[in-house]
Amino acid sequence: MRVDKKALIRWKVYLDRSKMYIGYINLFMMVTIFLGAIKNTGVGEYLIANVYVAIPILIILFIFFALLLGYWDSRLGIRSEEMRNLSSQNPIQMEILTTIRKLKENQEILLEKINKIERIR
């Protein structure tokens, strides 16, 4: 049985792109379950009684904490280090990096030769 590699890769890309949207659905479901679990508590009763005030405050708090987590991730460099590790395992990206390094070396050699020629003149 022959497998179409391009189709498999395309499907994988589609699945990877859908993870973000599935994450949003998952977040909505977790919030719904959380609110259902606390509805019989004092906090839950307050949230339900003041839903028009509580929901905007919860959204603002969520955005604030999401931005704070993103800021910490940027400051600590966790995502960039993860991407560096992933790219070092990607043979195509490593080939591109090797080619760029060779081009830089050749550029330096050419610049030295040009400088020598200009000195002779």
* Structural domain includes residue 25: no
* Structural domain includes residue 72: no
Structure-token match 């904490």, residue found = 65
* Structural domain includes residue 76: no
What are 3-57's pLDDT values in tens digits? Answer: 788 888 888 888 888 887 898 899 889 888 887 888 888 888 888 888 888 888 8
The dihedral built from the CA positions of residue 11, 14, 20 and 24, taken in this order, carries a sign that is negative
Range of the domain at 98: 90-121
* Structural domain includes residue 11: no
DSSP, residue by residue, 70-108: HHHHHHHTHHHHHHHHHHHT-HHHHHHHHHHHHHHHHHH
What are 79-105's pLDDT values in tens digits? Answer: 788 777 777 777 888 888 889 999 999
**Number of structural domains, the chain?**
1
- pTM metric for this prediction: 0.49
